[in-house]
Amino acid sequence: MKKILAIIFALLIVAAPTIHWAITNPSNSLELMQTLRNSDNPESLFLDSKRIDYKSIEYIQEEFNPNMITQITLLEFDEKTYLIQTTPGTKKMKIIAIEELPIEIREYFIKRE
């Protein structure tokens, strides 16, 4: 019995970082918006600290009240870029719309990479 408890305790210690990450990181656009609005440390959400715009974060936290939150994916294929709008905040994504982006907008996103 003691060995089983020791194994369970060891597994919890090893799994703790993964559990913390799964609980605290947003998994969709709706959760991201809520996390940005309520976070004391929004910098932790960014992969690259050079891309943080503190004015935008402050605006989102204090003044921004969205009418709608959308979740989009940009898919580049055969020298074309497609914008795919999906349902935010759902366990299984459903596609709302797919549009091919104009060349100017495609080039803008390619420069941002």
Q: What is the pLDDT of residue 102?
A: 93
The count of other CB atoms within 10 Å of the CB of residue 32 is: 16
Q: Give per-10-residue mean pLDDT for the chain (113 aa).
A: 84 81 75 83 79 83 79 88 87 88 89 78
CB neighbour list of residue 83: distance below 8 Å, 6 or more residues apart: 72, 73, 74, 97, 98, 99, 100, 101
